Amino acid sequence: MKLYRVFYNTHQYRDMSDKPRRASRLVPALSEDDATDRLRAVRDVEQDRCKPLFGMRYIGIVHSAVPATPSGKASE
Amino acid sequence: MNTPTEYVPIMFDGFDGSRLNAELWSAANNKRGYGQEIFQAENVSVHDSLLDIRCNADYSSGEITSKGLNSYRYGWYEASMKVPKGSGFWPAFWMLDSSTPQLTYNEFDIAEEKTGDAIGAGRHYCHIHSGPYPSVHGPAINLGSSVGDPARDLSLSFHRYAMDWRQDGCDFYFDGILFYSAAVAIATPMHTLFSFSVCKPLASGLPPFGGLPDPLYPYPAHLLVDWVWVLKAARHEVQ
């Protein structure tokens, strides 16, 4: 697995009638395409959870994935 | 997966390649474990983009730790794991106090699965232990909880085990769902571990919670880790 940041649109309303906002998430995946597919795969599951969880927004269009690099600032 | 935008990755290991990332982990070797097992480095392998910790019929098993390499304070800790089902198995994803000199004992058990029956019934456990160190009476604070779904056998697929550690406490998540919160302020740096232990009889002679290992189990058993990460967000900053 590698680490990717996947960019997508979020919406306040389930029917996505509002103006989308750009968002991104970190996704462990095998490739860029796999990363976007993984986010699409959980979209329907998450939609069901959105309402009870404050602050969550619906996932709209999933755009692209780029490799993400950990900062490495781990040691305390 | 499913992390909101504001998270910054601090550490990620997807276990690509054919060996442990030596900058992140070391494997215990000839180390007496926490139950009946002896940790041997030969039982830890990386293959097929997985960390594989094997437990054999002689209870030789494995553990990896970030001790001496990386320690962490606050953040989101999560691993995708497939745990083995078998009586007496005790696989864990956890964190231990790294403070020097060590005046406290702090332990986060993000996933501590102790019984084949419970794993088969989808039950997952988390714990927090905290107190002064050394202590003849053990940790002063011992908290924890579990979450379960009888229709879900944890050993059949990968699941995500996570903890959100902040200044004001910890939240524990299973597959992205919050199931336990503890308002315990722990501030010492901690290192991370994956271990595969085997329960031993209690001092009373009674079997432990989780039972004793079944000699008829078709060894070896495997604890598989797909990926692990440490993420930070604004709420993890020291106030």
pLDDT of residue A49: 64
Cα separation of A58 and B6, whole Å?
16
The beta strand positions in B56-88, using DSSP E, are 60-61, 63-65, 75-82
Which chain A residue's Cα is nearest to B69? A75
pLDDT-based confidence at A45, cuts 50/70/90? confident
Any domain includes B24: yes
Name the residue range of residue B80's domain: 8-234
Cα separation of B76 and B84, whole Å?
25
Partners of A72 on chain B (C-beta within 8 Å) are 10-11
Q: Give the pLDDT confidence of B199-235 residue by residue, as tens digits.
A: 988 888 887 877 889 888 999 999 999 999 999 998 8
More confident residue, B20 or B215: B20
Instruction: Tell me whether strands A21-29 and A2-11 are parallel, antiparallel or unpaired.
Output: antiparallel
- Report the range out of B18-32, B104-118, B144-158, B196-210 with the highest average pLDDT: B18-32
The alpha-carbon gap from B174 to the nearest alpha carbon of chain A, in Å, equals: 14
How much is the ipTM here? 0.81
Contact assignment for A74 to B72 by CB distance below 8 Å: yes
Contact assignment for B12 to A75 by CB distance below 8 Å: no
Q: Does A38 touch chain B (CB under 8 A)?
A: yes
What's this model's pTM, rounded to 2 decimal places? 0.91
Any domain includes B239: no
> If we measure between CA atoms, which residue out of B78, B68, B79 comes closest to residue B190?
B68
Any domain includes B2: no
Instruction: Please state the domain count of chain B.
Output: 1
Which chain B residue's Cα is nearest to A36? B1
Q: Does A62 touch chain B (CB under 8 A)?
A: no
Q: Give the pLDDT confidence of A4-20 residue by residue, as tens digits.
A: 999 999 888 777 788 89
Any domain includes B1: no
Contact assignment for B189 to A76 by CB distance below 8 Å: yes
Q: What is the CATH number of the domain that holds B162?
A: 2.60.120.200
Cα separation of B184 and B162, whole Å?
17
Contact (Cβ atoms closer than 8 angstroms) between residue B170 and residue B50: no
Any domain includes B86: yes
Contact assignment for B11 to A23 by CB distance below 8 Å: no
Instruction: Extract the tokens encoding B101.
Output: 């000199």
Amino acid present at B55? C
Could you give the domains of chain A? 2-67 (3.10.20)
Considering only CB atoms, B15 lies closest to which of A1, A27, A39, namely A1
Any domain includes B168: yes
Considering only CB atoms, B2 lies closest to which of A1, A46, A69, namely A46
